[in-house]
Each structure stands twice: as structure tokens, then as C-alpha cells.
Structure 1
Amino acid sequence: MTASKGLAALLLACVSLPCAQARTLPVPDQRPTPGNEAPPLPIARAAYSTPVNYLLQCAGCHLDRGQGSAQNDTPRLEGFVGNFLKVEGGREFLVRVPGVSQSALNDQQVADLLNWLLDRDGMAGSSTPEHWQRYTAQEVGRLRSQSMLDLPKVRRGLIQALRAQGIVIDDGLRH
């Protein structure tokens, strides 16, 4: 038997295995595990805590403590993100970043998440100005509806404004 005929015979044997040995589709009469009968709620209605919403919506890129990833071009939030409240347009930028504005969270959840991040005892730490205005759901809703068409350009302008104030840019990215 040649190698090609042997390979063909092996492939034929694999294809003809009974479905029970290589099942990829669920059994037609399979039912959910008790307690999982109801379809999951959309995240905007699930009423998770703000830290859980961060883990579900932000930590995939910014990591669990907001440390960011230069390799993935994701800026650090930890100890830095509050600086954006110190320059014109920075407050709006934080809501209009696509990961925030297009998240599955509702406007109140986004406001709660940003306020949680920016609290001086939160991820932003001392980078947040001492006296800052907390976000409201109404403000978030208004800002989310305004698309940001050139994120890198807007961010560069804000970084320049921060540098002009003498703020050290320690967001974990190479500038």
C-alpha cells in the first residue's frame, strides 16, 4: 500500500466513525442544568456591581488592576487616567473612547464605572484632581452619542496639553 492510499484509508476510517464517538452537536433532548433555564440578561440589565462590570467590560484590555499593556497599545489606567480631567476635552474623551461609548453597559453603569475608576482611592489614585465633578447618566448619554472619529489624534492632543502643564505621561505606552 502506498503512502497516499494509506492516508486515504485513514481519512475514510475517521469519517466513518459513529457519531456517538465524535459528537459535536448537542443531543436534541438535552436540557439546561437546573438553575440555568432562563436566558441570560443583557449586561445593561444584569445589575452587576461596578467592579464586576469593570472586569467584564474593561479588564480584557486594561487588565485586572488597570495596568494596561504596551504590547497591545492599551494605556494604563492605574495612577494615570485621572489626569485627563485636568485638560480641556479630557472629561469628554473618557466617555467617548470607543471601548466605553460602545460598551454593553447602560449610561448609569458607565457613569458609575468612570466615577469608580476616578475616585482618588480607586485606580486613578492621586492622578485625579482633588475636586472633580462626578459623571451622571445624562452626561454619559449625551457624550456617548458623539462618535470619536480619530481617537489617536484626539489622544495625542490631550497628551500634549497634559505635557504643557508639566504632567509626566506615565500611561505605559511609548510616546
Structure 2
Amino acid sequence: MRYLLIAGLMCAMAAPLALARAIPDPNQKHAPGNEELQKPIAQAGYSTPVNYQLQCAGCHLGDGTGSKANDTPKMKDFVGNFLKVEGGREFLVRVPGMSQSALNNAQLADLLNWLMRKDGMAGKSVPDNYQPYTEAEVAAVRKVALLNLPETRAGLIKQMREQGIAIDDGMDDAY
């Protein structure tokens, strides 16, 4: 038992030295082929589907089905319904995951328009009179912070119900 205690103390005393070796060497060179500094997402030139994967799929999943367990609504065949109610178009820009993303305004407009494709994420929920988002529109709307996401979303869902729109967002009437 005594040897076990001594061994434990020796390990505890050696731990700071082991951690000290983890400090990066400021003179270390980049790995071959990785010499260029990483570009910010807004300058990287990724495609819109890649931007979706980087900015949205972590919560809404790759196919837009969302996750009730994580309080993340489904977008697939539903998100276009927000364009059918007053304030819904702006809401989609102002959702924190969108407005605070690393994307620039043009990329965010492209992403929103990509989501609204009838053959894509929004599918049948997109209104027939859909007008694509513009960079200027996104820039103007994005500046206004969304202070109460649940309350704002609940009001939009209420408007949808009043119009007879079926609420199929995977949240089981949470709003």
C-alpha cells in the first residue's frame, strides 16, 4: 500500500512536467502542403452546400430534419412557410445561427436561397411568389438582433396556424 501511495505522489509531481511538453514550439514549421494560413470561412470560397454543412448541419442535421431532443426544428419541407407570414422572411435572416454565422452577407443570401429551392431543403413549403434574398437585404436585416427567439418564432407559428398551414416542424406543438 505504501508503494502505491509513493507511486501516486510521483505521478502527481511528474504531471506538470508532462503537461509542459504540450506547449507548442513557436519555431515549429508547418506540415508539408499546409504552409498557407487558414482563410476565414467568408473568404474560403466554399460552395453553398458546404457552407450549410459548416454553419447549419450541426443543429439541423445534414438533411434538415432537425432534432427535437436538441430543441432544433425541422427545416425539410417546412422552412419555406416562414415566407408566408409577416416577419417570417426577416426572421430567417435574424435567427442567431444565420445572423451570427461566419458567412458574409452574399454567402448568407446564397445559403438562404439554396435552402428555399423547391427541389431542396424547403421543398413544397416555398411560396409560389418567392423572391430570392439579396446581399443588400441580408446586410440590412442581419444588423437587427433577435432578442427573443422562442417568442418570435411562436408568434410566426401562430400566424401560420391562423392561415391553416400545417405545422410539421418536428417540435410537437412546442411553440
Per the TM superposition, whether the score is higher than 0.5 is yes
The match for 2:8 is 10
Q: 1:48 deviation in Å?
A: 0.3
Q: Match for 2:67 among 46, 66, 69?
A: 69
Cα distance in 2 for residues equivalent to 1:123 and 1:47? 22
Cα distance in 2 for residues equivalent to 1:154 and 1:79? 21
What is the root-mean-square deviation in Å for CA atoms of aligned residues?
Answer: 2.1
Matches within 5 A, 1:5-154: 6-13=4-11, 15-16=13-14, 23-27=21-25, 29-154=27-152
**One-letter amino acid of the counterpart of residue 162, structure 1:** M
Report the number of matched residues: 173
Cα distance in 1 for residues equivalent to 2:113 and 2:52? 12
Q: 1:148 deviation in Å?
A: 1.1
Unaligned runs of 5+ in 2: none
Cα distance in 2 for residues equivalent to 1:14 and 1:65? 47
> Deviations 1:28-53 (Å, cap 9, x if unpaired)?
54321112112111101111000000
Q: 1:23 deviation in Å?
A: 4.0
Q: 1:20 deviation in Å?
A: 7.8
Taking only the aligned residue pairs, the percentage that are identical comes to 59
Cα distance in 2 for residues equivalent to 1:65 and 1:7? 54
Q: 1:27 deviation in Å?
A: 4.6
The match for 1:168 is 166
Unaligned runs of 5+ in 1: none
Cα distance in 1 for residues equivalent to 2:137 and 2:11? 63
TM-score by length of structure 1 reads 0.90
**One-letter amino acid of the counterpart of residue 144, structure 1:** R
The match for 2:156 is 158
